[in-house]
Amino acid sequence: MFADLAEQLRIREQKGLRRTRQIIDSPQASHITIDGRDYLAFSSNDYLGLANHPELIASACDGARRYGVGAGASHLVNGHSAAHHDLETALAAFAGFPQALLFSTGYMANIGMVTALAGREDAIFADKLNHASLNDAALLSRAQFIRYPHCDLAALEQRLATVQARRKLVISDAVFSMEGDIAPIRRLIALCERYHAWLLLDDAHGFGVLGEQGRGSLFLPENTHSHSHSPNLVYMATLGKAAGVSGAFVAAQPEVIETLIQSARSYIYTTATPSLLAYALLTSVRLIEQDEWRREALQRNIAQLKQGVRSLPWKLLPSNTPIQPLLTGDSAEAVRISQALREHGILVPAIRPPTVPQGAARLRISLSAAHWPEDVQRLTDALHELASA
């Protein structure tokens, strides 16, 4: 048994696909410390620079004094505190939905949401570049699992029109985590309404960053007239990325939220997230709403990076989000560049199969409002140096 595992690990290592963990000795920020060495980090999803914000730290401490450290039980026993309840109310209002429900992680939210709404007699239609959690959820549901080419709505419509099922669910990232592009949300909603399907939208990388006051992808100008009152829409966003803390929430119509409370196993059968985190997130939502300068700084960093890498031999994929993928194609090349940047004191992760398709390895550059212009310049200078070496 162990020899078989060792051989699989050897093969993974040989293909340049073995991953390793690194131990951070500092708070999450644009500059971090690993093993006593300081690095400029373009590897975090802390898009607004809130993960180490002093007001969030103070709120977490205040929340710990009020509620203690552990929730002690699941939400349906006696782990559901006033902080959880207040945060759900605030998130529902902020996202423009009647109700919201907290989950411990985005992965658990997707698993619970999909498996509660789809079963053996149903069909799930999924974008081929969806996050792994959505794919795993679809498989666990035991529904018919039908994938369509990335953002190809003609192909999706053909499948919706021909497949017979008790219930139809379309599941899609809003911002695709490895591409940085944005789903055609308004057209997806129109298709789902036409074919009486649910649309489950994962906005993990849009919430806090995109749209009016950072309310997410649904509040981009092209989507603002088609989101909040569609009964077909079920929305999920995470709280450990732009929000800077931890967890996730699902927002939808009351009947959907009550169904999740009664049937979502990843909600029912787990201890509630510590109340102190929910208490801190109330401060995070306020900062997201009021600190427009953070999104403005982020957009300036995105524009500067795009300008700085134009003449590189590696292609920057089209994205107007903090996720800026620099395509190398070859996994070994992605690892080589990532390691060389690390020697320059810069962290940019190499993304390889199976996270991305074969031949589509890349550097995933994650920008933050916490990066200064000189930080972005340092990265582009280092990339140009490596390209000319």
Residues marked active site are found at 177, 205, 241
Q: What three-state secondary structure class fits 210?
A: coil
Whether 89 has a binding-site annotation, put simply, is no
User: Looking at this protein, which amino acid is placed at residue 295?
Assistant: R
CA-to-CA distance for 125 and 135, rounded, in angstroms? Answer: 10
Whether 366 has a binding-site annotation, put simply, is no
Whether 205 has a binding-site annotation, put simply, is yes
Reference 112, options 249, 220, 227, 211; nearest CA is 249
Whether 267 has a binding-site annotation, put simply, is no
Whether 106 has a binding-site annotation, put simply, is yes
Reference 242, options 306, 163, 315, 295; nearest CA is 295
Whether 244 has a binding-site annotation, put simply, is no
CA-to-CA distance for 72 and 3, rounded, in angstroms? Answer: 41
Taking each helix axis from N to C end, the angle separating 331-343 and 373-388, rounded to the nearest 10 degrees, works out to 120
Whether 310 has a binding-site annotation, put simply, is no
Q: How far is CA 144 from CA 121, 138, 166, in A?
A: 8, 8, 11
- Enclosing H/E stretch for 324: strand 323-329
Q: Which residues sit opposite 362 in a β-bridge?
A: 327, 351
Concatenated DSSP letters for 143-154?
Answer: SEEEEE-TT-HH
CA-to-CA distance for 286 and 335, rounded, in angstroms? Answer: 39
In the chain, which residue ranges form alpha helices assigned H by DSSP? 2-14, 54-67, 82-95, 106-117, 132-141, 153-162, 185-194, 254-263, 265-268, 275-290, 292-308, 331-343, 373-388
Burial group, residue 327, by CB count within 10 angstroms (0-12, 13-18, 19+):
middle
The strands making up 323-329's β-sheet, listed across from edge to edge, are 315-316, 323-329, 361-366, 350-351
Concatenated DSSP letters for 27-41?
Answer: -SSSEEEETTEEEEE
Whether 227 has a binding-site annotation, put simply, is no
Binding-site annotation: residue ranges for substrate: 19, 131, 355
Binding-site annotation: residue ranges: 19, 106-107, 131, 177, 205, 238, 355
